[in-house]
A and B are shown apart, each in its own frame.
Chain A
């Protein structure tokens, strides 16, 4: 069966510090991978998605970046965190059924980031 791992679960970082959140998927090949952010009491904002190694699509301009160095690994990074980067970060994967069709998305347990 497929599983998704995301870590760390919680993180407190000072303003201006770097960030690296990692997400890995097991039990599937060539998944579509996603990073979402959810501010307190708000909806999910799509940050990045990837359909393959080295292929990253960015949805919003910001000081975050994403990389996919391996098929089942997705990394969210920042060189200098801002207070506004605080939020609940969720990694997700979905399967490709071909012809632009996809399975539903499955989420990691999330990282609660507080920038102080």
Chain B
């Protein structure tokens, strides 16, 4: 089983739709979680951290479910500019700073 897994998509949604991505992780000792956004042929950029209690940033909501070992990202009122690949990142306790990325979920928002 991969350490961090995501549905590669693509998710094709109309503008204004709500879309959610999940990311599962295998190591229960994982301690820190992030969502990154990557545009085509560009480097990944931090979208938001994921806190245990869940957190929201505008149209984006991130949640952590430790019992089921997954994190989620919800995007409300999708915009054309949200089209990108969304990567989840997991940092495991005691592995000397190893950051593991999921393979990414591609989102395409259409008119």
Flag whether A77 is at the interface (Cβ < 8 A): no
Question: How many positions in chain B have a CB within 8 Å of any CB in the partner chain?
Answer: 25
B96 touches A105 (CB 8 A): no
Residues of A within 8 A of B89 (CB): 104-105
Residues of A within 8 A of B49 (CB): 104
B100 touches A46 (CB 8 A): yes
Instruction: With CB as the reference atom, state the residue of chain A lying closest to B47.
Output: A104
Question: B20-32: contact bitstring with A at CB < 8 Å (1 yes, 0 no)?
Answer: 0000000000011
Flag whether A57 is at the interface (Cβ < 8 A): yes
B91 touches A43 (CB 8 A): no
| Residues on B facing A (Cβ under 8 Å) | 31-32, 34, 41-46, 49, 87, 89, 91, 93-104
Instruction: Please classify how large the interface on chain A is, using the bins under 10, 10 to 19, 20 to 34, 35 or more.
Output: 20 to 34
Q: A43-B103, A106-B46 are in contact. List 7 more A-B contacts (CB 8 A).
A: A44-B87, A51-B96, A88-B41, A101-B31, A105-B99, A107-B43, A112-B41
Question: A36-79: contact bitstring with B at CB < 8 Å (1 yes, 0 no)?
Answer: 10000011101001010000010100000000000000000000
Instruction: With CB as the reference atom, state the residue of chain A lying closest to B6.
Output: A43
B101 touches A51 (CB 8 A): no
Given contacts A102-B91, A104-B46, contact A57 B96 (CB under 8 A): yes
A51 touches B43 (CB 8 A): no
Flag whether A114 is at the interface (Cβ < 8 A): no
Q: Distance (Å) between the CB of A5 and the closest chain B CB?
A: 12
CA distance in complex: A101, B95 (Å): 10
Q: Distance (Å) between the CB of B4 and the closest chain A CB?
A: 9
The one of B41, B45, B46, B97 that contacts A96, using a Cβ cutoff of 8 Å: B97
Given contacts A44-B87, A105-B89, A108-B43, contact A100 B99 (CB under 8 A): no
Residues of B within 8 A of A102 (CB): 32, 91, 97, 99
